[in-house]
Amino acid sequence: MPTFETINRFRKDFARLPVADRVRFERVVKERFVADLAKDTFRAGLRVQAIQGADRIFEMTWAPNGRATFQYGDEQVRGEPHIIWRRVGTHDVFDRPPGP
């Protein structure tokens, strides 16, 4: 099972989301993102890709206008990926990716 952490900016973004969007994001992560991490390949619907100009930061689509950014961190559990969530919200989360 992968491990996760969030940066402060993500927590602020997440708190601003409507409750329905928070629930949807968590469901997509639990039911799709985690399953795809285990397979080492992401389904097309999540549209996971590297963000141009942001070294080692990726984006994921979790709703029609729902985006999240993440990066891989150092393994916390042997053999399991560690994900650091950076931003979550609408497409505007790409305006200025925060530092670490």
| Model pTM score | 0.89
CATH numbers and ranges of domains, the chain = 3-91 (3.30.2310.20)
CA distance 12 to 33: 21
Structure confidence by residue, pLDDT tens digits, 19-37 = 999 999 999 999 999 999 9
Model confidence at 39: pLDDT above 60: yes
Q: Residue 97 has what pLDDT?
A: 52
Structure confidence by residue, pLDDT tens digits, 50-100 = 998 888 999 999 999 999 999 999 999 999 999 999 999 988 766 655 555
88, 4, 73, 68 alpha-carbon torsion, rounded to 10° = -10
- Residues linked to residue 5 through DSSP beta bridges, in sequence order: 84
